[in-house]
Amino acid sequence: MLAQARRPEEHDFEQDNAGSVGAPSLVRTEWIACNACGADSFRYLSRVREWQIGRCRNCGLVYVNPTPFFEPTESFSRLSLAFQYTRFQHVIRPETLEHERSQMRAQFEKLAQLGGGARTGRRMLDVGCGSGTSVHAAVEVGWDAIGIDIDPELIELGGRELQVDLRCCSVMDIEERENSFDFVRMRDVIEHLPNPHTALLRIRQLLRPGGMLLVATPNENSLAAQLRLLLGGKRDRIATVPPPHHLHGFSPSTLRRLFDRAGFRSREIFTTTPVDPRYVTARNMGAAGEKIRSGFWHAAQGLGRGSMLVGWAQKA
């Protein structure tokens, strides 16, 4: 029988976290309801150090409970580096800039096809921009772009080397008026957030009517992830990475629920490969030449069980 999920008191968690990964950056931890459907029905699945991984009994969203809230500090930068997720962004390479230019052109073309954004000022917000290479690319192709991230080292690096508008803050704290943007992008971001629902409510405020949101995130229900569990792999990851780096693992159905709950109109939700140049980082593209893995990824995509999940949603 699965153990009962525990709702620790705040002081208990602080004692448990002494000296653990990420503790210096924690503002607080909080027991949360499901961000996709709103139900407080967390079913415990496993534990990774002090982190409880579980699934919503109502809709199936996988998430950490209680969940940590981080602040934009140097210790958060060190935490990101410890997971090696942002290491490649600490050096801005010409090939990365070229990859981002190509990707932004593809995304702006898709935006035009969907009839969203670009109706007025061609203004974009990149949430979780890292060192701002995508922001730089958007500016190069004629958009007014802003990037935000809670990693101060990457924001300082990108602002210095790329000379673009980067701000060290969360989407909840950005100082912009409502109806300010035509396009908001979240690439490899939503899985890190403790509060995806409230973040999307804020994004909806920031978007102009008809504006578009793009979310790209690992697919929790990918063929690769499910085969790993079927073959005896431990339930020690959310969206391919252990907590507390990833906090939510979305599937196509739970992402659609989240869009609906936040008041967006879902336009397209589909899965793709980890080497799709339209939606993944330059770092991912290094695996494109691995024939066996790449072949598996494309086969999984053909079955609708690709490793990456992409969602386009529009503000009515």
DSSP letters spanning 226-267: HHHHHTT--S--BTTB-TTT--EEB-HHHHHHHHHHTTEEEE
By residue count, the chain amounts to 316
Q: Structure tokens of 107?
A: 């995304």
- 53 with 243: CB under 8 angstroms? yes
- 214 with 311: CB under 8 angstroms? yes
Under the banding of pLDDT at 50, 70 and 90, the label for residue 88 is low
- Report, as an integer, the average pLDDT of 255-268: 98
**Residue 53: enclosing H or E segment and its boundaries?**
strand 51-56
The SS3 call for residue 89 is: helix
Mean pLDDT taken over the chain: 89
pLDDT of residue 112: 93
DSSP letters spanning 133-171: HHHHHHHHTT-EEEEEES-HHHHHHHHHHH--EEEES-T
Q: Is the pLDDT of residue 116 over 90?
A: no
Higher pLDDT, 101 or 115: 101
- Report, as an integer, the average pLDDT of 81-106: 83
| Measured distance CA(77)–CA(69) in Å, rounded | 14
Interhelix angle for 74-82 vs 152-162, to 10°?
Answer: 90
Q: Is the pLDDT of residue 20 over 50?
A: no
Q: Per-residue pLDDT tens for 223-239?
A: 999 999 999 999 999 99
Most confident range (mean pLDDT) of 26-30, 47-51, 68-72, 74-78 is 47-51
Under the banding of pLDDT at 50, 70 and 90, the label for residue 31 is very high
pLDDT of residue 252: 98
pLDDT of residue 17: 37
| Measured distance CA(56)–CA(34) in Å, rounded | 6
Fold of 72-315: Rossmann fold (3.40.50)
What number of other Cβ atoms are within 10 A of residue 46's Cβ? 14
Q: Where are the beta strands (DSSP E) in 57-154?
A: 62-64, 67-70, 123-127, 144-149
pLDDT of residue 195: 97
**64-73, 196-205, 233-242: least confident range:** 64-73
- 210 with 119: CB under 8 angstroms? yes
Q: Is the pLDDT of residue 3 over 70?
A: no
- Report, as an integer, the average pLDDT of 145-152: 94
The SS3 call for residue 114 is: helix
First-last CA distance in the chain: 45
Single pTM value for the model? 0.90
Q: Per-residue pLDDT tens for 265-307?
A: 999 999 999 999 999 999 899 888 899 999 999 999 999 999 9
Q: Is the pLDDT of residue 156 over 50?
A: yes
